[in-house]
Each structure stands twice: as structure tokens, then as C-alpha cells.
């Protein structure tokens, strides 16, 4: 079969997501499992969303609105852009894939940081691009090195701001200086999946960048994190109209399902739920920092809803032991960050359970 598929797929290692709760229940035969592995919103979604979904269920025999008219209108009003500047995707993941599909010619290069969101790499290789990874410096984007890594073949650059799995962010000043050095023929994807969680004055107000005529920029955001809609798969991109028109050529006509559309629309209207979700993360993050400090473990200060920690131990073993105690976290060998784990900030009681389990495991595993 390998002979029959596109040659670039030979090098694609499928994305391995955080383990689903049901799978762990099946495998380990335990109940009451908590998932702190995929940076989801532990508060769930807002009551307004649940009402909107329930009202829309009667129409699922119909195809969805292929144009996402109302959702695009609401997004465009929120950011003072036009609906023609908005593209809605089946998660922001889909927007990355479509952008690569539309813009990459075989042999062109995609520039990413290392470590970063694994999907950039996987989707780029699947679309026939060569990936150039530029190591981070002190767990932050090294934009100087990234600018120097741009070649004639570079076609796209992914910047996750803040980054996953690291949790650090690029400042407005750093971003502006970097963008100035990116040639006009390059498309920049600025992935702001975690922007709602950032508490820093120098974080870029990036939406305005989409308007630039001398640069090609898509800013992507998602309903999967602060809005609590990961299971429905909705993300959006804001870009110049000519870029959006091209993305529209390569998407499936009904790429965003009808329930996702009404849910996202209702979620956008409920600022309070987002505020509540963000406050929970900020409050609980302090407890994580204190906890890791007491254990003398180094963590990366995070501007997201997860924390990357160096356990200085066998992190695969830690992952397995914590899993046995009913808690799913992420061990980081897929990113070649041996010894590291990533944990999503949960509800207060979930975090307490994590602290107890992690301490027990860490004290039992000394190397
Ligand atoms: C940096 C980053 N971008 C994008 C995504 C994907 O978001 P979506 O659920 O909208 O596809 C994630 C999900 O974990 C992420 O960490």
C-alpha cells in the first residue's frame, strides 16, 4: 500500500492526541478519571451554548449554512473587520491544513519553531513541504534565528503565540520586527489559540496585522480552549479578503457543522464564561507554580492554560504512574523533551488530585 500513496506521506507520523477518558477507563478498568492532557476547558461550556445547541438539534437533517453567515458576521463585528476577512474552519487545525493545501508547491519550505504545535509539522509534510525547525532559546521563540533561516524556498511560517507546548509568548515589539524581515511572498500563520489566557501588556494586538497589504498574514483563533467547545471543532482565521477567497476554494462546502455554528455564535455572546474560565486558570496557575517550586522542579512560566515542567526523571514512567491514579497528563517524548510533562490546569479539586498523585509518584521515582 505504501507504494500507492503519495511519497511525502511516507514521512508523516500521525498526530497522537492526549488519551481520551473512555480509552483509559477501558484499558485500566478504573472510573472517575480526569483529563489534564489536551488543554481543554474544565468548566465546560456556557449554559447559553447548551440552550442554543438544544434548539438547533431539530434541524440536523439539513445541511449547515455553507457560508457560516451569522458566525462570520458576529466574529467580524467583534474585531471590526468585514465578514470577507473571516474564514471559519473545522477547528483551527483545518485552517492550517487548508492554507498549506492552497499555498504550498512541492519542495517549498515551512518554517516552525522547535518545540511547537506538532500539527504544523505533520500537515506541512503531508502537503509536500519541507519543514525547517528553528530551536527555541530559553524556551522562547528565537525570532532572530528564524528570520535568518528564511530562504528563497520558504513559503509559510507558523508562529504559535503563545506556543504549545512551551506556554511562552512573543511580544508585540518582537513580532513587529520579525514580520518586517519576512519577504512578501511568504504567508505567516499567527496561531493565537490561547490568546484569551495571556495576561501581559506587551502581547501583540495582532488582528490589525491582517490588514497589511505588504505582508500575507492569517491570524487563527479557536473556540476549543477558553470557549470550551473542543468537541465541536470550530476555529477561525482573520486575513485579507484575497487570502480568505483562496482558502474558500480548497475547503469542503460544509466544513463547519450546524451545531458547531450555533454553539460558537452563542459562545461568542457569553463573555462572562470566558472571563470565568480565564480567572480560574490564573488563580490555579499560582498554585501549580507554588507546588512545583516546593518540589524544586523547573517549569516554564505559562501564558496559557497548561504548564510545561521538567521532572528530571523518566517522564514516560511518571505519565504511566499518574495514569494508574486516574489522571491523564502529557509526556513530552513526541517533542523530544525527555523528562518533561505538560499538564492542563483543571478545576480546583482536579488540581488537588493531580498535586497529590504527582507528589506521590515523584517521590517514588528518583531518576
Ligand atoms: C497552538 C495550538 N493551535 C491550534 C490548536 C488546535 O485548535 P483547534 O481545536 O481549533 O483545532 C491547538 C490545540 O491544542 C494548539 O495547541
Is the same domain home to 205 and 321? no
CA of 159 to the centre of ligand 1 (A): 12
Q: Is the pLDDT of residue 218 over 90?
A: yes
What pLDDT band is residue 13 in, cutting at 50, 70 and 90? confident
CA of 119 to the centre of ligand 1 (A): 8
Give strand pairing partners of 340: 310
CA of 344 to the centre of ligand 1 (A): 14
The ligand 1 atom nearest the CA atom of 38: 14
Whether the CB of 91 sits within 6 Å of ligand 1: yes
Q: Is the pLDDT of residue 211 over 80?
A: yes
Mean pLDDT of the chain: 96
Q: How far apart are CA 198 and CA 53, in angstroms?
A: 29
- Which pLDDT does position 22 carry in this prediction? 85
124 CB burial (10 A radius; 0-12, 13-18, 19+): buried
- Which pLDDT does position 3 carry in this prediction? 82
CA of 218 to the centre of ligand 1 (A): 15
Chain centre to alpha carbon of residue 139: 17
Is the same domain home to 62 and 177? yes
Interval 171-191 mean pLDDT: 98
Whether the CB of 196 sits within 6 Å of ligand 1: no
Is the same domain home to 264 and 295? no
Question: Which three-class secondary structure state does DSSP give residue 323?
Answer: helix
Query: Could you report the per-residue pLDDT of 224-260, keeping only the tens digit for each?
Result: 999 999 999 999 999 999 999 999 999 999 999 999 9
Q: Is the pLDDT of residue 366 over 80?
A: no
Q: Phi then psi for 62, rounded to 5 degrees?
A: -95, 150
Question: Which three-class secondary structure state does DSSP give residue 89?
Answer: strand
Is the same domain home to 88 and 12? no
- Which pLDDT does position 113 carry in this prediction? 98
Is the same domain home to 163 and 112? yes
Q: Which residues, 6+ apart, have CB-to-CB distance to 287 below 8 Å?
A: 351, 355
Is the same domain home to 339 and 283? yes
Question: Which three-class secondary structure state does DSSP give residue 149?
Answer: helix
Interval 188-217 mean pLDDT: 96
Is the same domain home to 219 and 355? no
Closest CA to 74 of 240, 266, 275: 266
Domain contains 2: no
Interval 309-334 mean pLDDT: 95
Interval 36-62 mean pLDDT: 97
Is the same domain home to 100 and 237? yes
- Which pLDDT does position 2 carry in this prediction? 79
Q: Give the end of a domain, one of 253, 270, 287.
A: 270
Q: Give the end of a domain, one of 227, 253, 270.
A: 270
Q: Is the pLDDT of residue 124 over 90?
A: yes
- Which pLDDT does position 182 carry in this prediction? 98
Is the same domain home to 154 and 173? yes
Domain that holds residue 331: 7-44+272-364
Domain contains 106: yes
The ligand 1 atom nearest the CA atom of 224: 9
The ligand 1 atom nearest the CA atom of 93: 11
CA of 301 to the centre of ligand 1 (A): 19
Domain contains 311: yes
Q: Give the end of a domain, one of 270, 295, 318.
A: 270
Does 4 or 158 have the greater pLDDT score?
158
Domain contains 1: no
Question: Which three-class secondary structure state does DSSP give residue 200?
Answer: coil
Could you tell me the pTM of the whole model?
0.96
Query: Could you report the per-residue pLDDT of 15-41, keeping only the tens digit for each?
Result: 878 788 888 888 888 888 999 999 999
Question: Which three-class secondary structure state does DSSP give residue 102?
Answer: helix
Q: Is the pLDDT of residue 158 over 90?
A: yes
Percent of the chain predicted with pLDDT > 70? 100
Query: Which of 18, 37, 71, 92 to probe ligand 1 with, by most ligand atoms within 8 A of CB?
Result: 92
Q: How far apart are CA 261 and CA 267, in angstroms?
A: 10
What pLDDT band is residue 367 in, cutting at 50, 70 and 90? low
| Count of the separate structural domains present in the chain | 2
Q: Which alpha helices (DSSP H) does 224-314 contain, by range?
A: 241-250, 258-269, 271-294
Q: Is the pLDDT of residue 317 over 90?
A: yes
Is the same domain home to 67 and 129? yes
Is the same domain home to 249 and 314? no
Domain contains 155: yes
Amino acid at each position: 500500500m505504501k507504494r500507492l500513496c503519495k511519497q511525502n506521506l511516507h514521512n508523516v507520523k500521525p498526530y497522537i492526541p492526549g488519551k481520551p477518558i473512555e480509552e483509559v477507563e477501558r484499558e485500566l478498568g478504573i472510573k472517575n478519571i480526569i483529563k489534564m492532557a489536551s488543554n481543554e476547558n474544565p468548566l465546560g461550556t456556557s449554559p447559553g451554548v447548551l440552550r442554543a445547541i438544544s434548539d438547533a438539534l431539530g434541524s440536523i437533517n439539513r445541511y449547515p449554512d455553507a457560508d457560516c453567515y451569522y458566525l462570520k458576521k458576529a466574529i467580524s463585528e467583534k474585531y471590526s473587520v468585514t465578514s470577507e476577512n473571516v474564514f471559519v474552519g473545522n477547528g483551527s487545525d483545518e485552517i492550517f491544513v487548508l492554507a498549506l493545501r492552497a499555498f504550498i508547491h512541492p519542495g517549498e519550505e515551512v518554517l516552525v519553531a522547535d518545540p511547537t504545535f506538532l500539527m504544523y509539522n505533520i500537515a506541512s509534510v503531508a502537503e509536500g513541504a519541507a519543514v525547517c525547525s528553528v530551536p527555541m532559546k530559553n524556551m522562547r521563540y528565537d525570532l532572530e534565528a528564524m528570520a535568518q533561516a528564511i530562504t528563497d524556498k520558504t513559503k509559510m511560517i507558523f508562529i504559535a503565540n503563545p506556543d504549545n507546548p512551551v506556554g511562552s509568548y512573543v511580544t508585540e515589539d518582537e513580532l513587529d520586527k520579525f514580520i518586517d524581515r519576512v519577504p512578501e511572498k511568504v504567508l505567516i500563520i499567527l496561531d493565537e489559540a490561547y490568546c484569551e489566557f495571556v495576561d501581559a501588556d506587551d502581547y501583540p494586538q495582532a488582528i490589525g496585522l491582517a490588514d497589511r497589504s505588504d505582508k500575507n498574514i492569517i491570524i487563527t483563533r479557536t473556540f476549543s480552549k477558553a470557549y470550551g467547545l473542543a468537541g465541536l471543532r470550530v476555529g477561525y482565521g482573520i486575513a485579507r479578503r484575497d487570502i480568505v477567497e483562496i482558502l474558500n476554494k480548497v475547503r469542503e462546502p460544509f466544513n463547519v457543522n450546524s451545531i458547531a455554528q450555533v454553539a460558537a455564535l452563542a459562545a461568542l455572546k457569553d463573555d462572562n464564561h470566558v472571563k470565568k474560565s480565564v480567572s480560574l486558570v490564573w488563580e490555579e496557575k499560582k498554585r501549580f507554580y507554588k507546588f512545583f517550586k516546593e518540589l524544586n522542579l523547573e517549569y516554564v512560566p505559562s501564558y496559557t492554560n497548561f504548564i510545561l515542567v521538567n521532572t528530571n526523571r523518566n517522564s514516560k514512567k511518571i505519565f504511566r504512574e499518574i495514569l494508574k491514579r486516574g489522571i491523564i497528563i502529557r509526556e513530552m517524548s513526541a517533542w523530544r523533551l525527555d523528562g518533561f510533562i505538560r499538564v492542563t490546569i483543571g478545576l480546583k479539586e482536579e488540581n488537588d488530585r493531580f498535586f497529590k498523585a504527582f507528589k506521590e509518584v515523584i517521590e517514588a521515582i528518583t531518576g
